[in-house]
Structure 1
Amino acid sequence: MKTLSPLLLLLLLASGCDDGAPRAWVSASRADSAAATEALTQGDDEAALRRLGALLARPVPDGVAERDARVVRQDACDRVARIHLARGDTERAMRFATQGLELGQAGLELGEADDVFTANLIITRGRIHEAAGRDREAADDYARAIAIQEALLEAALGSER
């Protein structure tokens, strides 16, 4: 499973204001993410779910950029959804995938949250649909994720020209 990158966490730390609350939120989120990763490497899904659940339940303080909070939470939702999917619990997996995708839609114009975190959640949702025998929905999700990834690639290549 993918984890929140150390670079992203450093960017989150750098974006914090002088208030200690944003830094504390980032620090606690980083600790939960790392502990979840370690738990998964040890085969302890329950511990990973507890730590990711704590991350998702933690209120985001003023001073944390909306996008930063969104991607941290979307990453956690994706990881939780994948754990539940691996356990065969497609209902719970779908609940977390949907929660993560809704974070990307709240208060944003259409397309603003079309980033790698949203694409990952859409792929996970496609896998959930596939596991539940909903092949048409799975194909639609995979096509949407590919479109986002192609747009991201085009933007990256366009910026290097």
Structure 2
Amino acid sequence: MTQLLRSTSAFMPRLLDGAPSLTARLLVHPGSLVLLATHGETGVDCSPRGDPGQAAFVDDPHTLVLPDRPGNNRIDSIRNILHDPQVGLLFLVPGVNEGFRVNGVARLTRDPAVLERYAYLGRPPVTLIVVEVHEAFLHCARALLRSDEYAIGYESPVFA
């Protein structure tokens, strides 16, 4: 896993070179939320990815797999990946203040044998988003820490 991590900024002193197990836990933690950013013909899109199980899987030290399960049937991300395969991912894990950022190039697969490996409750995903990782690093916790909305027990006035 340490091969996956590379420094791209002098402002990233807390890279995970010495903690590959932490990286793996961040990526496969049940209940983690993954934000997928893509670019297409009509502009950019950012969509959430989550699963009751894992939202993403480490296929090998340079590859992540995100199952695309049935949802609201908007296929903006899929369409965008076909137009421009560059993607950005942000992993947010409950109880972890840092985000984990991944940038890379995505491809799609609908190979039934591969889809079956990522079945949940006996149902394979519709498609898999396979990301070749070009860079991965922890993102500073400051933004989440400054935002009281993410504090445990916070009740948003919007939903009061």
TM-score by length of 1: 0.26
Q: Which has the higher contact order (CA 8 A, sep 6+)?
A: 2
TM-score by length of 2: 0.26
Higher strand share: 2
